[in-house]
Structure 1
């Protein structure tokens, strides 16, 4: 325990304006495409037009004859340069899937990079790429992952049945007696379509090799600069201190930019071979074509209930499409779908299987809440069960939600829940809506021929998972001779406002004015190692790192102040950038004066206190998972004839513990919620039967806009977590909770027609077809 009394929080918990906004909202951010280096050359990829084919020849002669073209790299030029390629995020010893930098011998999806052209500018590189002649021998593609396990064709040799990996819990037969004896069993096969992260800024990388020093500097659009650095050092077989990664601003990532992908590998491998710094910037079509997809999955799921509607058991057999080249290893998050499927409910018994299946399509990549499908499946089944039992869906949930008196609670798959409030967020969200009033309005509307619906989703979310890359987080704090404070963390601005929250936390920890604190992030040459923005970890992990580091400086500041003021250390208080004696406010010394002593008058320091005011600390969480939870409630009106869905209200009651900055938390919720709405109603990364992508522009790949999304309403329940400050993660929840709530709202609106929703997306055509099919089924 520090001898100095911790100052009461002044900034944490308040809506401090974002420090990033001054540059980002005025167009002064620095993104990868803003980086210009002397003598820079540009890369463009030659990509496969076929989903699966054998490469029988490549002729780059015409491309190389263009003035200003420096190189055309093929697989034999780059692939042999790979030393190791594994992600710190996952670990060295995890079985991985194939991931060659460039396709060799066979292409495996439309967009597969076959060659990389390097030229004086991007326009010339694109022109040259058109001149590279690739001879293909078409092969039958495996497009439908649902039937891929029965196909005689293999996406990758060595993976029988096209299975990339699978895991299972208890045998389903062990639960058969429970299901056989249950008063009610609801089961369904639910399908979710492929959709993508679509960050505002596409992927990009600038690589500058110094032959004189054997050092490589990378400017990266990334969520995790230290992961990029470690991955690159292993890839090239160079010491990590010879690789520097600089992340300035990143225009969104949502999981797509956590780990380097194949194109990044090509740029890294080619950098020592080209005459200047090498830049690659992905265009929007490439992003939708080859940057990865997510969410493409289905499950056979069922839940058993007793006669009072209490859950007896649940099981899910989950299958996901991982495309041709998933990044990173997909089996872990696939297993998470099964492990989390019981959700925030009292489920006595459960089991699951999870299977990852290759297909000749774009590879699966991480996306905000990659286990989201467990909530979709569970919450859709709960609403279906309520309709069949003749019970209100809210009442059915009340009978089964975990309550505070149930905690700690371990779900039947071994997930240990604590410090959560599912019942409280559920009731708060329904109160904000005035659920009873909505049901009355719904009845009146139906009498008028209008169809309103309400849907809910309550979920638990694992945050701050202490695994591999995420296991620790560091911070360095330097109080300058002027008394101003710089805090260094791995971080980086990718939309999660970590700059603002770090400044708030540091100002409180040292008792200084927030205007006197600045932060340096995203440069591996000066920032301590950290996991970056992923896994809803940034807030709680950085809070821990700042607290660990600030405690060292507080001890030192207190000792110097006590010595200077001839007072006991335990009587020193820090506030307003000043150390004073408790009860004697006139007796004090400013932080600038203390810094002056520490740097320039070391002889005047008390015995045992080192010169300077700089410290580094590292935080490792004591708990393997910190759980957050929330409830989403969505209301809508559906026109069954046109298939149009109009969202009316969307309410989120969130428990991410005490909030460092409520505006930041709500911004994270809003962003994820809009992505979830898009995934239900608009977005679809679709392929035809031959494996050709048909939505590779924003004319075809639809995104929600402000015109389609209602104002999001917020409620907050604050249950402190076990980490520093009680903070939990909040980055992924919106994308998890919004889809089931919207699906259930649409299903509730269409309940008079007997519609059951088991397939996404809910386009107007799909809704009209569902209503027509339901009407045919009830027709005499």
Structure 2
């Protein structure tokens, strides 16, 4: 850094209380549903009750006659107004799948929006939606994605075999000789159920059109306000500067709110057609029915080992359900499943292929670690292999996990790893448990008729993906005349605590007290362009943006201070909002005095130093992917009569590099772990054979509660990344590691019954069936 050396971090690495908490915990957050505008109207969608049907006609006359109804829009009203429809996140040239704002000609899942009613309030709009008569001609739905290739029916014309896209990956013929000759081969078909992200705040948007200025202002529940702005400008054919997106607080997203979906498009398109601002807030039934699903997939997976347990080859043939209208294009993410299947293990050869298949169900959307099937399949397979070979699963992993001294390492699918610690986190997790003591306890428990088990998952995950929207990140820092600091980033409060971490990083970078730093986020009118919260990118990308920008200001501050103190710039140090000469503590000038000179006394500044203390910078990572890794370890007790699973301990050993704020890191891990536990044990976005969703309330879509979650114990290994500050992402890992760790713990508990777990969720009914065996008898 030019001028004075950077001061040692005082805040980064410490458990600074979240700056968001006073606002959020006292009920003073501002969510989309809190936005009220003069003359505001409300939208409600008429949704299909059928999984697949031809739309013969829509009669809105009775609805339009109802008091308070302003309009009823159908596909004929909105769809022709679409100019361009593509996401910056993945780019213009990706062969994306169909996505009309309103269903046109045919409905393709239960909940498909057919019409949008606009009225004076939500109650009137909902009542009027019931009055819209839609004439349907039922058609045979494609409900089972696994059989969609053989179906005579097509979800979308132009997609033979209902295939949205495929990746051939690495050819299977290259590994067949290895599997043919290997002493040990284990092969399974692993299946994962459909899940929902279930953010505590459902989706929502307010759009206000100003005809005189030709400007559209949007308040959105989003993870990426700048993506919403860019998408809207293309959708409507408006110049970007005529669209403003404001994101205040967002009550979770987990991938569901990264990019606009079809209902958002409808509100954007209708905003110029109604006499006032237009609000749509999704209810919980709509969210579970129409906001998208994730995870639903299966894979034919194989692993070959030698007599000593060394992995010789691995292969996965992966097929995923993408529903009717996936958001965004799902094929790229499916490729990650194949590429990361070898995981953090020493695997000489691998083969993979993936396919994304349409069905007449809710569309696939992003969800924390959207490629996580690779870890589920691999880790279940490793435990099966250990049981087959008579090895402890921990010992089998020890023989194959990558060590620090083997890095950098490129897996057989071409993915380069560095800066990860698979074996080290694994050993730390085992030590935290006292693994050998648990095995002794397990023996005694089985002798007493109690069935306890332990399971692990070790994975490596990519963070800071530098694709399209995510390629760079900007920051603007303004030191006010008072010496207080404002830092502007795209960000926004969606549960990832980016407000707190940005304030910490800025305070350290400028040598000021953290109480003197505030942050402005989520408003595209004033914040620099950025990718928002997605892909575990926020920590490292924002750290880079703050560092780039702060270095410019720091150099300017040091130059002004050195000039005033008649010292060499190299002797100036910044601390506590004051610049002083090193070794002369009584000397110094406050940041407020420096700012006053910069703004109001430019004639006193040294030559070549511009007036003012405001700068903008943009970070472009040298490394497009930064890898984090972790080991999850779970112990449980299974009641073999009722099928109930009680989690006893849950341990996470994580390497996300140096931690900006350990509280934030552990909070992110905990949130992901709880979601992963739910995915493993209870959550299921199920459909019946006719394509009807059967889990559209929390009576049917079961979520884990505090009663089911044990205390989560944390271990940290800190290996710096090649990025700014050595930071890595941590937002998705919890949801990746938890399902296989829990499933392996249950399988280990049920090992005396010869049970093999190949599908989720592990409901009590499923577990009882595993214990009793196919013929209904106990297989003890």
Provide the TM-score with structure 1 as the length reference.
0.99
What aligned pairs does 1:40-119 form with structure 2 within 5 A after superposition?
40-119=40-119
What aligned pairs does 1:642-661 form with structure 2 within 5 A after superposition?
642-661=642-661
CA displacement, residues 386-440 of structure 1 (integer Å, 9 cap, x when unaligned): 0000000000000000001110000000100000000110000000000001000
2:139 is the alignment partner of 1:142 = no
**Inter-partner Cα distance in structure 1 for 2:150 and 2:641:** 39
2:492 is the alignment partner of 1:492 = yes
What aligned pairs does 1:438-453 form with structure 2 within 5 A after superposition?
438-453=438-453
CA-CA distance at 1:759 after TM superposition? 1.1
Q: Secondary structure at the match of 1:169?
A: strand
**Which residue of structure 1 lines up, in the alignment, with residue 700 of structure 2?**
700
**Which residue of structure 2 lines up, in the alignment, with residue 725 of structure 1?**
725
CA displacement, residues 676-702 of structure 1 (integer Å, 9 cap, x when unaligned): 000010100000000000000011100
CA-CA distance at 1:170 after TM superposition? 2.5
**Inter-partner Cα distance in structure 1 for 2:341 and 2:170:** 14
CA displacement, residues 234-269 of structure 1 (integer Å, 9 cap, x when unaligned): 000011100000000000000000010000000000
CA displacement, residues 537-586 of structure 1 (integer Å, 9 cap, x when unaligned): 00000000000000000000000000000000111000010000011111
**Inter-partner Cα distance in structure 1 for 2:385 and 2:535:** 32
What aligned pairs does 1:206-225 form with structure 2 within 5 A after superposition?
206-225=206-225
**Which residue of structure 1 lines up, in the alignment, with residue 568 of structure 2?**
568
**Structure 1 residues 776 and 388: alpha-carbon distance in aligned structure 2, compared to 1, 3 A threshold:** farther
CA displacement, residues 316-375 of structure 1 (integer Å, 9 cap, x when unaligned): 000000000000000011000000000000000001000000000000000000000000
Give the number of equivalent residue pairs: 780
Q: Secondary structure at the match of 1:759?
A: coil
CA-CA distance at 1:778 after TM superposition? 9.0
CA displacement, residues 33-56 of structure 1 (integer Å, 9 cap, x when unaligned): 000000000000000000000000
CA displacement, residues 37-89 of structure 1 (integer Å, 9 cap, x when unaligned): 00000000000000000000110000000111000000010000100010000
CA-CA distance at 1:171 after TM superposition? 1.9
**Which residue of structure 2 lines up, in the alignment, with residue 534 of structure 1?**
534
**Which residue of structure 2 lines up, in the alignment, with residue 242 of structure 1?**
242
CA contact (8 A) 2:772 2:779 kept: no
**Which residue of structure 2 lines up, in the alignment, with residue 5 of structure 1?**
5
**Inter-partner Cα distance in structure 1 for 2:135 and 2:571:** 80
**Structure 1 residues 43 and 779: alpha-carbon distance in aligned structure 2, compared to 1, 3 A threshold:** closer
**Which residue of structure 2 lines up, in the alignment, with residue 592 of structure 1?**
592
What aligned pairs does 1:300-311 form with structure 2 within 5 A after superposition?
300-311=300-311
**Inter-partner Cα distance in structure 2 for 1:778 and 1:304:** 32
**Which residue of structure 2 lines up, in the alignment, with residue 753 of structure 1?**
753
CA contact (8 A) 1:621 1:723 kept: yes
**Which residue of structure 2 lines up, in the alignment, with residue 474 of structure 1?**
474
What aligned pairs does 1:665-676 form with structure 2 within 5 A after superposition?
665-676=665-676
Q: Secondary structure at the match of 1:374?
A: helix
CA contact (8 A) 2:174 2:351 kept: no
What aligned pairs does 1:540-551 form with structure 2 within 5 A after superposition?
540-551=540-551
Q: Secondary structure at the match of 1:524?
A: coil
CA displacement, residues 497-540 of structure 1 (integer Å, 9 cap, x when unaligned): 00000000000000000000000000000000000000000000
Q: Secondary structure at the match of 1:295?
A: coil
**Inter-partner Cα distance in structure 2 for 1:595 and 1:64:** 60
What aligned pairs does 1:226-375 form with structure 2 within 5 A after superposition?
226-375=226-375
CA-CA distance at 1:773 after TM superposition? 1.3
CA displacement, residues 600-658 of structure 1 (integer Å, 9 cap, x when unaligned): 00000000000000000000100010000000000000011110000000000000000
CA contact (8 A) 1:597 1:605 kept: yes
**Which residue of structure 1 lines up, in the alignment, with residue 608 of structure 2?**
608
**Inter-partner Cα distance in structure 1 for 2:180 and 2:317:** 18
Q: Secondary structure at the match of 1:648?
A: strand
**Inter-partner Cα distance in structure 1 for 2:455 and 2:398:** 14
**Inter-partner Cα distance in structure 2 for 1:440 and 1:62:** 72
**Inter-partner Cα distance in structure 1 for 2:368 and 2:237:** 32
CA contact (8 A) 2:638 2:646 kept: yes
CA contact (8 A) 2:229 2:245 kept: yes
**Inter-partner Cα distance in structure 1 for 2:311 and 2:323:** 35
**Inter-partner Cα distance in structure 2 for 1:219 and 1:2:** 41
What aligned pairs does 1:424-443 form with structure 2 within 5 A after superposition?
424-443=424-443
> Gapped runs of 5+ residues in structure 1?
none
**Structure 1 residues 570 and 356: alpha-carbon distance in aligned structure 2, compared to 1, 3 A threshold:** same
What aligned pairs does 1:491-510 form with structure 2 within 5 A after superposition?
491-510=491-510
**Inter-partner Cα distance in structure 1 for 2:170 and 2:79:** 41
CA contact (8 A) 1:339 1:415 kept: yes
**Inter-partner Cα distance in structure 2 for 1:747 and 1:170:** 31
**Inter-partner Cα distance in structure 1 for 2:564 and 2:164:** 66
CA displacement, residues 280-339 of structure 1 (integer Å, 9 cap, x when unaligned): 000000000000000000000000001100000000000000000000000011000000
**Inter-partner Cα distance in structure 2 for 1:261 and 1:702:** 25
**Inter-partner Cα distance in structure 2 for 1:428 and 1:376:** 21
**Inter-partner Cα distance in structure 2 for 1:459 and 1:562:** 50
Q: Secondary structure at the match of 1:705?
A: coil
Q: CA RMSD in A?
A: 0.9
**Which residue of structure 2 lines up, in the alignment, with residue 155 of structure 1?**
155
CA-CA distance at 1:477 after TM superposition? 0.1
CA-CA distance at 1:169 after TM superposition? 1.9
Q: Which moved more, 1:579-588 or 1:370-379?
A: 579-588
Q: Secondary structure at the match of 2:170?
A: coil
CA contact (8 A) 1:755 1:774 kept: no
**Inter-partner Cα distance in structure 2 for 1:45 and 1:328:** 22
CA contact (8 A) 1:753 1:775 kept: no
CA-CA distance at 1:753 after TM superposition? 0.1
CA-CA distance at 1:116 after TM superposition? 0.2
CA-CA distance at 1:775 after TM superposition? 7.1
Q: Secondary structure at the match of 2:26?
A: coil
CA displacement, residues 727-748 of structure 1 (integer Å, 9 cap, x when unaligned): 0000000000011000000000
**Which residue of structure 1 lines up, in the alignment, with residue 735 of structure 2?**
735
CA contact (8 A) 1:753 1:774 kept: no
**Which residue of structure 2 lines up, in the alignment, with residue 578 of structure 1?**
578
Q: Secondary structure at the match of 2:469?
A: helix
**Inter-partner Cα distance in structure 2 for 1:306 and 1:12:** 46
**Inter-partner Cα distance in structure 2 for 1:169 and 1:247:** 39
> Gapped runs of 5+ residues in structure 2?
none
**Inter-partner Cα distance in structure 2 for 1:501 and 1:108:** 43
What aligned pairs does 1:161-180 form with structure 2 within 5 A after superposition?
161-180=161-180
CA contact (8 A) 1:457 1:632 kept: yes
**Which residue of structure 2 lines up, in the alignment, with residue 423 of structure 1?**
423
CA-CA distance at 1:779 after TM superposition? 6.8
2:421 is the alignment partner of 1:397 = no
CA contact (8 A) 2:772 2:778 kept: no
Q: Secondary structure at the match of 2:773?
A: helix
**Inter-partner Cα distance in structure 2 for 1:374 and 1:67:** 54
What aligned pairs does 1:380-391 form with structure 2 within 5 A after superposition?
380-391=380-391
Q: Secondary structure at the match of 1:690?
A: coil
**Which residue of structure 2 lines up, in the alignment, with residue 25 of structure 1?**
25
